Amino acid sequence: MRTILCTLALLLGFSAPVRAIDIERVEPANWWVGMQHNRVELLVHGNGIATSTPRLSHHGVAIVDVQKTDNPNYLFVTVEIAADATPGNFDIAFVDAGKIVATHPWRLDAREPGSAQRRGFDAHDAIYLITPDRFANGDPSNDSVPGMREAANRASPNGRHGGDIAGIRKHLDYIAGMGFTQLWPTPFLENDQPEYSYHGYAITDLYKTDPRMGSNEDVRALSREAKSKGVGIVMDIVLNHIGSQHWWMRDLPAKDWINHGGRFAPTNHRRTTVQDPHAAPADREAFTDGWFVDAMPDLNQRNPHLARYLIQNTLWWIEYAGLSGIREDTFGYADADFLSAWAKAVLTEYPNFAMVGEEWSINPMVVAHWQRGKQNASGHVPHMPSMMDFPIHIALRTALVQPEGWDTGWVNLYEMLANDFVYPDPDALVVFAENHDTARLFAHLDGDLAAWKLGMAYLATVRGTPQFYYGSEVLLRGPKERNDGQLRADMPGGWAGDTANAFTGNGLSAAQRDAQAYTRALFDWRKRTPLLHTGKLTHFAPQDGVYVYFRHEGGRSVMVALNKNAKPTSLALDRFDAFLRGRTARDALSAKPVGMGRALELPAMSATLLEIE
């Protein structure tokens, strides 16, 4: 270190340092030539660093701004990168009273060809959601890592079980073979919390993969390998909060970095307060500024340095890991103006990129508020291309368990879908029957396999992009009431010695094999059927326990008839003449011809899927 400092001092015309400063972090540690975001604000952390002045000498790179906060251990240094800047390594020197007190390496990289034009996921895709710690253990040597607060304990539903990136890479062929084209893992990033660290949402380092999962390079390798198999990676981003053991909490960059002065104050979860013209300001503030739990400090994105840090962190991961999409956690809980700026910055850099936000509300108006193109009375201008369709999620689960009646059963789903007029782009929404925060659909249905198949058929054929939760294809069940550790159960076969193996089929019951085969056939058919990607959806009001809709385009259509009756049902076809008259039909999954007379016989509790030509 001394030699480096003295050499750099000579090059820059300064004498040797008197008081050296240890720089603990410079984030981000690198950037790329040719980015739209070419003014990068570096967070520099080191004891007393604020008294120094940064200097650098590299072709095409210049320091254009330096700012301080109320914490003398931070500097925020903005570098501007010219279009003709030279990729490579160089040092940033920090000078105090004419003497170099510290240096730190930084790097410029060349971009991957076509990076800015990358295509994100859309309705052509189907997303497979996994909890990495519970999917597959490919490298048992990293189950427990010295120095990390929580060791592996597979016996505990709430402990770390050892799933990792190596395990995911081992089973990419399985994921692709099931018909899925996108993989959404819950966060990989470091969660060095004392407990409940397996889920990934209490991040303690936003630039570092948790070593119990692997390394940053492992994430990049996963993305490249997945892409070669036709599968994109959707990264789970958390903008609202961090983990209580995040390194910031030991030395906050500014007093207003964390909401409520860094002290726990719970959110009220009142999502409507963001749009409600009558909402008390105190209630609105309690929603956005409150903490989820005391282990998740709530970030104040109104601090401009934090806002830039979070935006740059997202751009960095997209570029570094070659992502095809982002799922953004707890979307509406963050500052609304920041959310707009964040999404706009991402789409400015990657115009064809895909992002979906989580707004857990049954109210379509609340969800639609955040989608790009929505004209909001509040004046908020959103830029998110997609949102998770929680209203359809809840309506589907309700419809499958309610008895059929004038205003119960399928009509819940029919009328919820009719609310699509409130969305700027309903076809861009992500639809799902379950996820890592809900009881699994199979448990919700008390183990009714026929009803479960109805739900999966709807998921694969309705408008939007479907998201499927790992393990459901082999009927992982868990509790009926939400219990996170149990609903995020281990994938059978992901661990050496498992008696059942979802990946090979060994040890599965007949029902599990049936469900897996149905899922594979359903999503493989969806992948190769353009009508299910871009076809218009026309649905007919449910009658007598049957819900019928068509996906259609250019004279061709797919007919979906969902029969919830416990007995076979004869479906009169005269209502559907506009789609069926004079045309032939074949079963979508078996390709066998189906006679289309005056009525169609529907098996009990079944989804009939027909290709009409």
pLDDT tens digits, one per residue of 497-530: 999 999 999 999 999 999 999 999 999 999 999 9
Pick the catalytic residue from 358, 434, 473, 611.
Answer: 358
Q: Return d(Cα 167, Cα 45) in angstroms, integer.
A: 35
Q: Which of 111, 135, 162 is the last residue of a domain?
A: 111
Portion of the chain with pLDDT greater than 70, in percent = 97
Pick the catalytic residue from 133, 210, 329, 611.
Answer: 329
- Residues 8 and 107 both lie in one domain: yes
Look up residue 44 and give its amino acid: V
- Residues 488 and 378 both lie in one domain: yes
- Residues 98 and 158 both lie in one domain: no
Portion of the chain with pLDDT greater than 90, in percent = 96
According to the model, what pLDDT value does residue 353 have?
Answer: 98
Report the mean per-residue pLDDT for the chain.
96
Active site residue 359: no
Instruction: Say if residue 34's pLDDT is above 70.
Output: yes
CB-count burial class (<10 Å; 0-12, 13-18, 19+) for 294: exposed
Q: Are 188 and 166 in contact (CB under 8 A)?
A: no
Structural domain contains residue 107 = yes
According to the model, what pLDDT value does residue 2 have?
Answer: 39
Active site residue 329: yes
CATH at residue 578: 2.60.40.1180
According to the model, what pLDDT value does residue 471 have?
Answer: 98
Helix 304-321 with 216-228: angle, nearest 10 deg = 50
- Residues 212 and 339 both lie in one domain: yes
User: 234 - beta bridge partners?
Assistant: 325
As a whole number, mean pLDDT of residues 461-490 equals 97
DSSP β-ladder status, 536-543 and 61-67: unpaired
Instruction: Say if residue 223's pLDDT is above 80.
Output: yes
Structural domain contains residue 252 = no
Position 19 confidence tier, pLDDT thresholds 50, 70, 90: confident
- Residues 29 and 77 both lie in one domain: yes
CA angle 101, 102, 106 (to 5 degrees): 155
Domain count of the chain?
3
Q: Are 75 and 50 in contact (CB under 8 A)?
A: yes
Q: Are 355 and 385 in contact (CB under 8 A)?
A: yes
- Residues 456 and 578 both lie in one domain: no
- Residues 132 and 89 both lie in one domain: no
Q: DSSP assignment, residue 421?
A: G
Structure tokens at 69: 């906060």
Which residues span the domain enclosing 105? Answer: 2-111
As a whole number, mean pLDDT of residues 434-459 equals 98
pLDDT tens digits, one per residue of 144-196: 999 999 999 999 999 999 999 999 999 999 999 999 999 999 999 999 999 99
As a whole number, mean pLDDT of residues 460-468 equals 98
Structural domain contains residue 583 = yes
Structural domain contains residue 263 = no
